[in-house]
Amino acid sequence: MSYIIAEIGFNHEGDMKTAKEMIKAAAGSGANAVKFQTFRAFDIALPSSPHYKLIQCGEMNFEQHLELYNIADSLGVDFISTPFSSWAVELLEKVGVTSYKIASMDCTNKNLLKYVAQTKKRIFLSTGMATLDEIFKTLEFLRNENSGPVNLLHCISMYPPSSQNLNLEIIPFLNRIFDIPTGYSDHFPGTKACLAAAMLGASVIETHFTLDSSKQEGDHFHSVEPEDLKDLIENISFFNKMRGNFNSIFNRPDRKLAVEFRRGLYSAYNLPKGKRLEEKDFLFARPCSTLSPNDIEQLIGKQIIDDIPMYAAMKQNFVK
């Protein structure tokens, strides 16, 4: 089962009551973790930037982080956050997070990555916009820094991307290339992309979460609501049962039915003693018998030793 992260991000818009409700709703939907973003607006954008005011409302101090962490912990879900500066890493270490999410914009930002690596905590590394070479260099940098374990997250940094731009086959590709767990960070409306990613083996599914997807500002419009998240988790669990694993080929549950469903070799009608057998004398029908259709060449042209009744299961000792 994929590890499910409900990304609250800054969809709480600085309202602590809303943030708490979102944690409770995510937990109630079955999420394994809730993820926030830890920043001061100027850690991300200049004050002249068009979205500076939008993200500024999502700023939270240490006490607010700690309060949300404690609520998540009491509900049995992990509290994760994306730091956007060394200040944010320091704050989150005081809070006591066990994992960090690195945003796609910082996938190649060694200045930030070194601070996260020093914590030795698990890293969820989004790869939006990154080339294969950039991903390789970042992973090499983290190894050299002796970071905690890394999970890659395939991500398309468009809001939202079109279905033809998702390229979810990258998930198993990255897993094969780098031999580390690889998941998916979603910006696609609804739950279909997340479900498809899970079926391709995504170890982690991160999807934006909201209480009201009808809001057009921020990340709300491409986020899932609690009932959608609940359905997604149930569907992933259901389809994972169908997906199973390749080892089942060695212990097929339907193997015992081969005797019932495969064909045996039978006489098509009453065959008299002394007749030389021809293909038209045989019937290939269920269930299996001593001989199969593949054995017909061993009997054709041979002489029957004794009369054979119609629908008799053919045997080698019927002929000479």
Between helix 192-199 and helix 226-243 the angle, nearest 10°, is 20
**Co-location of 104 and 188 in the same domain:** yes
Residue 214: per-residue pLDDT: 78
Instruction: Note whether 232 and 282 are same-domain residues.
Output: no
Q: What is the pLDDT at residue 221?
A: 66
Q: Is 24 part of a structural domain of the chain? A: yes
Whether 178 and 71 map to the same domain: the answer is: yes
pLDDT per residue as tens digits for the range 287-316: 999 999 999 999 999 999 999 999 999 999
- Determine the Cα–Cα distance for residues 169 and 235; give it in Å rounded to an integer: 20
- For residues 230 and 265, membership in a common domain is answered with no
At 54 the pLDDT is 83
- Please tell me which residue, 285 or 53, carries the higher pLDDT value: 285
- Out of 188, 220, 244, a domain closes at 244
Distance, in Å, from the CA atom of 249 to the CA atom of 307, rounded to the nearest integer, reads: 43
Domain shared by 182 and 35, yes or no: yes
Q: Are residues 27 and 88 in the same domain?
A: yes
Residue 1, pLDDT above cutoff 90: no
Q: Has residue 146 got a pLDDT over 90?
A: yes
Q: Which of 244, 267, 301 is the last residue of a domain?
A: 244
Considering the domain boundaries, does residue 209 fall inside one?
A: yes
Same domain? 149 vs 269 = no
pLDDT in tens, 45-103: 999 998 898 889 899 999 999 999 999 999 999 999 999 999 999 999 999 999 999 99
Model confidence pLDDT, tens digit, residues 197-241: 999 999 999 999 998 877 766 676 678 999 999 999 999 999 999
| Pairwise CA distance, residues 224 & 194, whole Å | 11
Q: Which residue range is the domain that position 80 belongs to?
A: 3-244
- 249 within a domain of the structure (yes/no): no
> Is the same domain home to 208 and 280?
no
Q: Which residues pair with 78 in a beta bridge?
A: 33
pLDDT band at 20 (very low <50, low <70, confident <90, very high): very high
User: What confidence score (pLDDT) does residue 72 get?
Assistant: 98
The domain total for the chain is: 2
User: What's the predicted TM-score (pTM) here?
Assistant: 0.87
d(CA 207, CA 33): 11
Are 10 and 47 part of one and the same domain?
Answer: yes
pLDDT band at 246 (very low <50, low <70, confident <90, very high): confident
| Position 127 in a domain | yes
Specify the pLDDT at position 14: 84
Same domain, 54 and 181: yes
Q: Tell me the pLDDT tens digit for each residue of 150-198.
A: 999 999 999 899 999 999 999 999 999 999 999 999 999 999 999 999 9
For residue 159, what pLDDT is reported?
Answer: 87
In a domain, 250, yes or no: no
- Cα–Cα distance, 238 to 258 (Å, whole number): 27
Name 217's Cβ contacts closer than 8 Å, sequence gap at least 6. Answer: 54
Looking at 221, 244, 267, the residue that finishes a domain is 244
Residue 11 pLDDT > 90? no
| DSSP notation for the chain | -PEEEEEEETTTTT-HHHHHHHHHHHHHHT-SEEEEEE--HHHHS-TTSTTHHHHHTT---HHHHHHHHHHHHHTT-EEEEEE-SHHHHHHHHHHT-SEEEE-GGGTT-HHHHHHHHHHT-EEEEE-TT--HHHHHHHHHHHHHTT---EEEEEE--SSSPPGGG--TTHHHHHHHHH-S-EEEEE-SSSSHHHHHHHHTT-SEEEEEB-S-TT--STTGGGPBPHHHHHHHHHHHHHHHHHH--GGGGGS-TTGGGHHHHS-EEEESS-B-TTPBP-GGGEEEESS--SS-GGGGGGTTTPBBSS-B-TTPBP-GGGB-
Whether residues 24 and 145 share a domain: the answer is yes
CATH number at residue 277: 3.90.1210.10
Burial of 168 (0-12, 13-18, 19+ CB in 10 A): buried
CA torsion sign for 129, 134, 140, 145 is negative
On whether both 199 and 230 belong to a single domain, the answer is yes
- The alpha carbon dihedral of 94, 77, 185, 214 has a sign of negative
CATH number for 42: 3.20.20.70
